[in-house]
Amino acid sequence: MKTLSIIPAAAATIALFAGSSAAFWGQLNLVGRCPGEGCFTYLTLRDYNTGSTYDCGIVNPGYCNSPGKCTNTCTETSPGGYNFNVQYWQTSDGCENVDFLGALDAHHGWCCGGVPCDIGA
């Protein structure tokens, strides 16, 4: 019977390594800013692997919904100067979605339950 208790532990270890194999592992956030006349919601990303941070511009979760995805340019706000395009949308169940379109060797990632949230893509 003791060998059976090893199986769940091994499965959990495999799941841990599988989860961290994403090309992008980081945080998605929607931040309200009022830079002048009016307030806007900005998409921001933080890469946990590299520490890089990105400002991806203004999004409107009510408008950016599947199939009405919004395409934004993410500009690195940490040293490095890397810029790339993403598609962002929110599904009817409130989940946040980002398609990296191959940037950072990543593709589609999502999270549910509010922001900020962790995503792997």
In a domain, 9, yes or no: no
pLDDT value at residue 37: 86
Asked if the structure places residue 12 within a domain, the reply is no
Q: Which pLDDT belongs to residue 9?
A: 46
Read out DSSP for 20-88? TT-S-EEEEEEEEEEEESEEEEEEEEEETTT--EEEEEEE-TTTSBTTBPEEEEEEE-STT--EEEEEE
Total-model pTM: 0.79
pLDDT at position 21 is: 61
| 2 domain-assigned | no
Q: Is residue 73 part of a domain?
A: yes
In a domain, 16, yes or no: no
- Residue 51 maps to a domain: yes
pLDDT tens digits in sequence order for the chain, 121 residues long: 444 444 444 444 444 444 446 799 999 999 999 988 899 999 999 999 999 999 999 998 888 887 789 999 999 999 999 999 999 999 999 999 999 999 999 999 999 999 999 999 9
Q: Does residue 70 form part of some domain?
A: yes
Whole domain around residue 85: which residue ranges? 24-120
The number of distinct structural domains making up the chain is 1
